[in-house]
């Protein structure tokens, strides 16, 4: 007998993976959680897609794992990783991604000096 307040899961068992979804502001079309193929919701793909401009105006990134029953806003971690990667390329964060990175880096931003 199920415990009180319990709702059965609609997620198939054995699918232990962390999924990353991006909340994107599409302007006049509204704010949406972007649809994504289940095979490309991993961390690396989401970071790569953000860096290549696949999103119009990303607002936040949320990670969740249904098997482990947790979710977390990982926007700050993603923003720091994006900044780190652009710094390693000696490139500026593109303007379409700049707001996201600056909004989520917060007080934790470590300035990098470019060596010439």
| pLDDT tens for each residue of the chain, 116 residues long | 444 554 444 454 556 689 999 999 999 999 999 888 888 899 999 999 999 999 999 999 999 998 888 999 999 999 999 999 999 999 999 988 999 999 998 755 555 555 55
> How many domains does one find in the chain?
1
Residue with tokens 């401009």: 53
- pTM of the model as a whole: 0.76
6 in a structural domain: no
94 in a structural domain: yes
Spatial separation of the C-alpha atoms in residues 76 and 103, rounded to whole Å: 8
Q: Which domain holds residue 33?
A: 19-105
SS3 59: strand
46 in a structural domain: yes
Spatial separation of the C-alpha atoms in residues 11 and 16, rounded to whole Å: 10
Tally of CB atoms within 10 A around 104: 23
11 in a structural domain: no
56 in a structural domain: yes
77 in a structural domain: yes
80 in a structural domain: yes
Task: Take residue 1 and report the two structure tokens written for it.
Answer: 């007998």
4 in a structural domain: no
């Amino acid at each position: 007998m199920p415990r009180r307040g319990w709702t059965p899961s609609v997620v198939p068992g054995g699918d232990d993976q962390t999924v990353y979804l991006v909340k994107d502001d599409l302007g006049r079309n509204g704010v949406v959680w972007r649809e994504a193929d289940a095979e490309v919701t991993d961390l690396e793909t989401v970071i790569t897609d953000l860096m290549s401009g696949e999103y119009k105006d990303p607002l936040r990134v949320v990670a969740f794992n249904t098997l482990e029953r947790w979710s977390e806003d990982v926007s700050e971690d993603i923003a720091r990783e994006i900044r780190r990667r652009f710094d390693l390329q000696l490139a500026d964060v593109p303007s379409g991604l700049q707001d996201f990175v600056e909004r989520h880096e917060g007080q934790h931003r470590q300035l990098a000096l470019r060596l010439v």
